[in-house]
Structure 1
């Protein structure tokens, strides 16, 4: 048979059997007694594997091969129902009775997401209410780390970072986090602080994590992914929820949610509200890694000291490198003592979240189809450790967010919100260590005192040591003499002596000498505490290390959906969406971070508009295209196109190919930063920088004195970065038990935002008279590409149990020497595997226990280089983590008890270079749920 005949036969197998007289059925499932919509109820065509689950409003849509058909409807805790369907127009509004059952439940295998989501053009990972209950992680946000394509990094107990598809960063500026459509970013930092200022777990309905470039759908900064958190609707999920959790590290967590609705005289619900409160405190993980900083020359074996990762103020300096001097033998490269992070940081992590929402139905008789007016307000505050260019102690940071929205589900919305923040008493521990040392004496004065003591006290003792090689033989050259003396000092017995000599010299250098010198400030003394409090309570712009940030973000967004622009038949239609948004940033840092002093106005606006359409053909094909245009006040108009084709040959199978794009506008820091960290000034670059010298050429000039050795360069003004991604995906259910989801992507990046290092040098007659180092925000000149593949699956067995696993592979294709290319910071390989049981009957515990559940999950992450600032760049070793939990329901008191532990084997691992070792966190929680009907 010819190849063409094979191809024709294959097409027939794929298409001929799927283009029969199929019928699309639609309906809604509610609770019989209250009329409440049931979310996640199952719909199954009897005798087949064709099924679906209901959306948030209880609605469902299912395509069957023909009529008549018997549909089975079920929901845990309710009696199942079977209905024979003989007509596509049949009313399928199903009300399930409230007879409590525990075993007669029909499960739609592989259906944990709705058809709408499963057929999405982008890669979407979901953590729904069931998965939140099942996750062995300590909270729902940590549970996102088990999803495929996801990198979850713990910089502290209170600050977790989520990134996808490479270029992981502790400043997650390439990920967008939204809660009910509202951007959750810090207005001053331009990224979200994990869930530290986010939603309470009791109010989270589900989390959709959109993986990859998606600006065309979500706007600027949806560069590598979107974390879309959806909270519970008070009309649909009423009642009281409360939770208490205790864990290791003195962790205590508690919260409650109350929601209710009021009816008008006609018996229709017209007003609903919810109140949320959440509190947390714990002893944070301590960053106490005293290994030498990655790729530095001196190690702990150097008698003069070394640069330790979590010790600040001990960094290498050319002014403290004495090399090999005959007048001071053994002095070598010396380092100041610095201060440990644990002596400078508040590890008492705390978090408080309060929220209220008020929903008004303007047409109560239409229930869910009514237009609604929403008023919401949220407040968060807390203390934790955040890692960016340095480690930062966030103390009493505050976050205010208020929203007003007019919406009609799947029709339109107009949303306005404002976000305010207050940095509280937050400060920079790294810079604090340098300030404390400078308060005692400058680096130069300290090195001079150290060297003077060595020359006057230590050098004579060394030369009196037995066997000291003045010169053997008598006529040896100076290099030979140097070599003999080096060899003598390197002997083990003399190394021990050198450590003692350096300890004495360091002690001498700590003492005050001269007018502008003071004794060193010793940790734990009142004198240290007074100096520390003075430095951390003085604004960074006024000589201290305290941040001031009362920035705000104002946002207005409107969208309209045209559901049936063209509908030639019942199974085909064209829907279109148009929208526009605008936002205004009003930074206010009083010069502690940004160039907003001397009356300079750096308020920044941006606007965007988008439109797109999706053509549904015969419930088998979806063809989508969209285009978004964005204009930032300081940058040119940019476009983000997207297109996709989705093929659904059967109800359980979806294949897709898509092109997506994203832009990322430079953050306020990229544009306006001015932050002096002592050894350098971190500089934003809205206007460009000229006349800098490369670091290497400055070193060459300092050795040669030849001005011709200096290399000058300019840095062009910063501009937005862009990415284009091609993606293919496949999802399907096999054998009624196995669900697989696979994705491959290839991305093209340009104009990466990173930084250049340079020196503004002053010199006279080949002598350096002044120098200032700068780190300047800049764009890369090279274009780079990345690619990756991921596959995930679930295998269901024995009615209540499932195996699950996923694997992700990501690589940076382009090898480049461009120093601006930001670190990929992503393991090439990672995987998750686990087993779980849900709602398993367990009568052995007595009548009060209806069922129990459990899950065991193992995560493995390949080793990789994590590149941050010079202090926080190094190798993260491969690691594996085992999590486990068991939960059981006490039905007579409406309570679920959960006992578990993340990293149950207490495998101490670093997830970010410069961060703390993350160990075990065992916990027990009790969650009370009373659903109001």
Structure 2
């Protein structure tokens, strides 16, 4: 009897529940009355997604009236009141104004862009669809104040506000909260291990210092790439792309790009996705033949036949040199009265062109990512994510040298738990250099394999000064045994050199299997404070474990491990009818190799106008950058000098054995330590450079210390508004200006250390040290340390965006940025600003020019500027670049076809001396179900 009653009760409850809920059906359209796919319809904790025909069905309570909310990223949210169970629901979603769109990066809480306490640039789904560039990542360069470092076809990185070369360690890039910095490099490898074009949902970029919330290295700015959730974006999406790259040096070459995304929602509690993408392309060939001029530190036209001191930008093996004036005494003894060889005339041997040292100019990249998502309560109040992503392939990278990256690998794995008010995530990043090698060392050892440098010098001298031959004839004679590219002998030597580690005799191969693990969390107390304010606390911990076998770091005999942590808090409060918003943040970070850094930020926003659509803002913020693991632990003999990182732990590891030969007395053994490099060194130029000595004095003692973190303090003002014009037209305006003060910039200082004796003070050496200099018993180093020069940077930007004639989308922005500094380093320091002073960017498009047919055009002009990097310094010409695309949708095939081109004016341009000139690129793509 009891069982029957229990069954009856359960049946009755089920009937009551089912009767208490009903299904509402409807259709979602865009503003052109086309079916809207994947719009989200919400009622409380219940939600549904519209299908390819815009149709949806959602369960709601039959207790009317009810409210459903229809939304999609990049579109205005619509609220619909349900007053009847048989109500016909038709919803039109209109594209959102840019400044109305919601971001989370500026304050770690959702807020409209217009309300952000600092400058922010955003690239959403609509921007990605309208993108004219070859990929969404390339398209970011069209945003205001954003620049792209295009080191090669495959390697590109984003930066803001200057001070970066291709080693972009002052800018942080996050993918779903994971820092994409490679463990050995401490800067992001761009999109090589990033996000598939099919999986990217939005990009948020904060120009300027952001260390108060994001910690170390958020110095120039930070970029957050957010991917699509498999709960919201389901199905199979495919991208097929191909085209032609055209360059004078490389000719016309075809490239291929394919991507697949699969997302599936198994239930309201469980979903998963996987992404696969692959591209293959011919790299932009680098053939800069200009000569590095030592005295003027400029790139000048030159050739092997015109000067013995030829050091071509993209030739390798000509880096070592010998002063021909050393032959003067011998020349006078053989031919008395002969003209004296100038003291500054150097001889370099003939190097190899870059194309001779690459077994292929092909760039390849394979990316894979996958994630599992679990929502125990079947809503967004709690979600657990397990994700992994990896990238591998072949590429070119330009740092202190040019490097051929072969079979590289970068991988990340993440576990994250997040809820309405918190998140905790941990991830592990690892990389493998594969079969990568250094082109400079490869060239040096190939030349040495044909003829030892000493024999080469003697052969040249005899022909040039005893046999009175020309520079060309003398060089040709010295090169008579040169290994010729393509021959069996050349290939055999090349293979041996590139498979032998740098740490071994005659090798150029890089070994790198470094990793780091990272843990961080954040909690927002707003709900516990009855919405009085957003009060957040958070923290992070990271441990680096570099492993290079001495090829990059000083870890051949002793492993390296570096730990760092940070804690922060932020309070954000709205006052005066929510017109005034105050934001205050404070963070403390500590690395075991450096003193702690405190990073405060304070921002004020004030809203004007009836609709609060005119926002004034002011902020003070700080940033810092810990020196990279390379800058801390580098210990690499380049063949000319030794590069040394100057942390105390690295200096402790350095111990040289010097064999000092004295004619008539034999060899005396001495020792040079890391302490000597700091405490017993002279500025090299004060010993050997006559012009420097005349201007600054001789024998200047180096007083540069162990390396410390860089620090920046920034003041910023801004104005954002949405102006409501006639005919329902809106004009978005964004104006910002900043002023920054930079201290302790990291740079390379050239020092010389006597093998014995003491440098007492500037101009004062004891007898032993004086003897060491006279005998040439010294060691030269490039010490990585902090500049004493204070740098100031400043700039402003103006951006406007509107629509006219209903469907035409138009935007224009202008950016000015510059810097100044007072030299306190005897001319040895020059900031790697590497950014044009003036930049103008224009965009015009119409997604509905005709039915299912649209176009978009992007143009940008960049001013000329100087490029400074360890590899090369030189001027970069101004350039105008025009990108364009036409697109056509076929809804019945769920397909979009796009044909377009980048740099379609066709004038090739250099991003930096030594990189390949960028030519034209034309593409055609087919996107299915996206």
Smaller-chain TM-score range?
A: 0.7 to 0.9
1:359 to 365, 370, 373: 373
Cα distance, 1:900–1:321 mapped onto 2, change above 3 Å: farther
SS at structure 2 position matched to 1:679: coil
User: Aligned match of 2:101 in 102, 113, 116?
Assistant: 113
Deviation at 1:621, TM superposition (A): 2.1
Match of 2:541 in 1: 582
Q: Aligned partners of 1:678, 1:100: CA distance in 2, in Å?
A: 78
Q: Which residue number in structure 2 is paired with residue 28 of structure 1?
A: none
| Contact 1:832/1:859 (<8 A) preserved | yes
Report deviation, 1:455. 3.7
On the 8 A contact 1:373/1:407 being kept in 2, the answer is yes
1:336 and 2:336 matched: no
Distance verdict in 2 for CA 1:907–1:330, change over 3 Å: farther
Cα distance change, pair 454–833 in 1 and its aligned pair in 2 (3 A): same
Cα 1:157/1:702, change in 2 over 3 Å: closer
8 Å contact from structure 2 (residues 547, 559) kept in 1: no
Match status 1:450 vs 2:426: no
Aligned to 2:302: 299
Q: What TM-score, normalized to structure 2? A: 0.80
Q: CA, structure 1 residues 771+509, in 2 after alignment: closer, same or farther (shift >3 Å)?
A: farther
Distance in 2 (CA, whole Å) between partners of 1:631 and 1:239 is 45
Structure 1 CA distance for aligned equivalents of residues 717 and 37 of structure 2:
27
2:620 to 630, 645, 659: 659
Q: Give the structure 2 partner of residue 685 of structure 1.
A: 646
Aligned to 1:593: 552
Shift of 1:297: 7.4
Whole-Å Cα distance in 1 between the matches of residues 308 and 857 of structure 2? 49
Residue number in structure 2 paired with 1:404? 415
Determine the structure 2 residue equivalent to 1:350: 364
Q: Secondary structure at the match of 1:277?
A: strand
- Distance in 1, matches of 2:831 and 2:524, equals 38
Alignment partner, residue 314 of structure 2: 310
Q: Does 1:504 align with 2:473?
A: yes
Q: 1:913 to 1:272 in 2, by over 3 A?
A: same
Q: What is the aligned partner in structure 2 of residue 262 from structure 1?
A: 266
CA deviation profile, 1:689-745 (whole Å, cap 9, x unmatched): 2322222222169999xxx94333243111111111111111112213211111101
Whole-angstrom distance in 2 between the partners of 1:54 and 1:829: 41
Given the alignment, which residue of 60, 69, 80 partners 1:93? Answer: 69
Q: Check the 8 A contact 1:660/1:725 in 2, yes or no.
A: yes
Alignment of 1:60-209 (within 5 A): 91-94=67-70, 106-111=94-99, 113-114=101-102, 115-209=111-205
Q: List per-residue Cα deviations over 1:793-848 (Å, max 9, x = no partner).
A: 11211221111111110110334353345321111111101211124442xxxxxx
- Residue in 2 that maps onto 1:563: 526
Cα deviation, 1:397-427, whole Å, max 9, x if unaligned, reads 001211111111x411110110111010111
Q: Does 1:648 align with 2:641?
A: no
Find the aligned partners of 1:353 and 1:33 in 2 and give their Cα distance.
40
Q: 1:609 aligns with which of 563, 567, 576?
A: 567
Q: Give the CA deviation at 1:929.
A: 0.9
> 1:702 and 1:368, CA in 2 relative to 1: closer, same or farther beyond 3 A?
closer
Cα shift readout 1:839-869 (whole Å, capped 9, x = no counterpart): 4442xxxxxxxx1221111111111110112
Question: Any conservation in 2 of the 1:753–1:822 contact (CA below 8 Å)?
Answer: no
Post-superposition CA distance 1:355-401 (Å, at most 9, x none): 1100011112xx223x1111111121011111111111111100121
For residues 412 and 545 of structure 1, the distance between their equivalents in structure 2, rounded to whole angstroms, comes to 48
TM-fit CA distance, 1:437: 1.4
2:426 counterpart of 1:430: no
Which deviations, in whole Å up to 9, do the C-alpha atoms of 1:663-689 show, x marking residues without a partner?
A: 111111111101111111111110262
**Aligned with 1:917: secondary structure?**
coil
Structure 1: gaps spanning 5 or more residues: 1-30, 43-52, 62-73, 81-88, 264-268, 460-500, 512-518, 843-850
Between the aligned partners of 1:608 and 1:56, the Cα distance in structure 2 is 39
- d(CA) in 1 for partners of 2:564 and 2:43? 38
CA pair 218-90 structure 1, distance change in 2 beyond 3 A: farther
Is the Cα contact below 8 Å between 1:164 and 1:212 reproduced in 2? yes
Give, in whole Å, the separation in 1 of the partners of 2:182 and 2:235.
Answer: 32
Alignment of 1:824-839 (within 5 A): 824-839=833-848
Q: Which residue of 2 aligns with 1:633?
A: 592
Change in Cα spacing, 1:534 to 1:77, as seen in structure 2 (3 Å) is: same
User: For structure 2, which runs of at least 5 residues remain unmatched after alignment?
Assistant: 1-22, 45-49, 57-64, 72-77, 81-86, 103-110, 245-252, 652-677, 756-769
Shift of the 59–752 alpha-carbon distance from structure 1 to 2, 3 Å rule, reads farther
Rounded Cα–Cα distance in structure 1 between residues aligned with 2:203 and 2:692: 58
Contact 2:37 2:52 in 1 (8 A): no
2:709 pairs with 1:729: no
Alignment coverage as a number of residue pairs: 794
Asked whether the 8 Å contact 1:57–1:368 carries over to 2, the reply is no
The 5 Å alignment of 1:696-775 reads 696-699=685-688, 709-734=698-723, 735=725, 736-762=729-755, 764=771, 767-775=774-782
Q: Distance in 1 between matches of 2:261 and 2:791?
A: 47
Distance 1:682 1:764 in 2: 25
- Equivalent in the alignment of 1:368: 380
For 1:676, the equivalent position in structure 2 comes to: 637
| Counterpart-to-counterpart distance in 2, 1:507 and 1:586 | 48
Q: Is the 8 A contact 1:829 1:861 kept in 2?
A: yes
Change in Cα spacing, 1:874 to 1:772, as seen in structure 2 (3 Å) is same
Summarize deviations over 1:572-609 as a string: whole Å, max 9, x none: 731111111101101100100101122x2320000111
User: Tell me, what secondary structure is at the counterpart of 2:503?
Assistant: helix
Q: CA contact under 8 A between 1:628 and 1:639: conserved in structure 2?
A: yes
**Alignment partner, residue 873 of structure 2:** 873
Contact residue 752 and residue 820 of structure 1 kept, 8 A: no
- What is the deviation of 1:160? 0.9
Which residue pairs with 1:288 in the alignment?
287
Distance 2:93 2:853 in 1: 15
Q: Is the 8 A contact 1:79 1:101 kept in 2?
A: no
Q: Return closer, same or farther for 1:792/1:60 CA change in 2, 3 Å cut-off.
A: farther
Mapped to 1, the partners of 2:752 and 2:346 lie a distance apart of: 23
Q: Which residue pairs with 1:213 in the alignment?
A: 209
Whether the 8 Å CA contact 1:282–1:349 is kept in 2: the answer is yes
User: Could you tell which deviates more after superposition, 728-737 or 881-890?
Assistant: 728-737
**CA 1:858–1:700 in 2, change beyond 3 Å: closer, same or farther?**
closer
Query: Partners of 2:88 and 2:550 in 1: how far apart?
Result: 63
In 2, Cα distance between equivalents of 1:455 and 1:363? 87
Q: For residue 232 of structure 2, give the secondary structure of its aligned residue in structure 1.
A: coil
- Give distance in 1, aligned partners of 2:91 and 2:194: 37
Q: Which residue of 1 aligns with 2:496?
A: 534
Match of 1:233? 229
SS in structure 1 of the partner of residue 298 of structure 2: coil
1:197-247 Cα offsets, whole Å, 9 max, x none, are 211111110111111100111111111011110011000111111001101
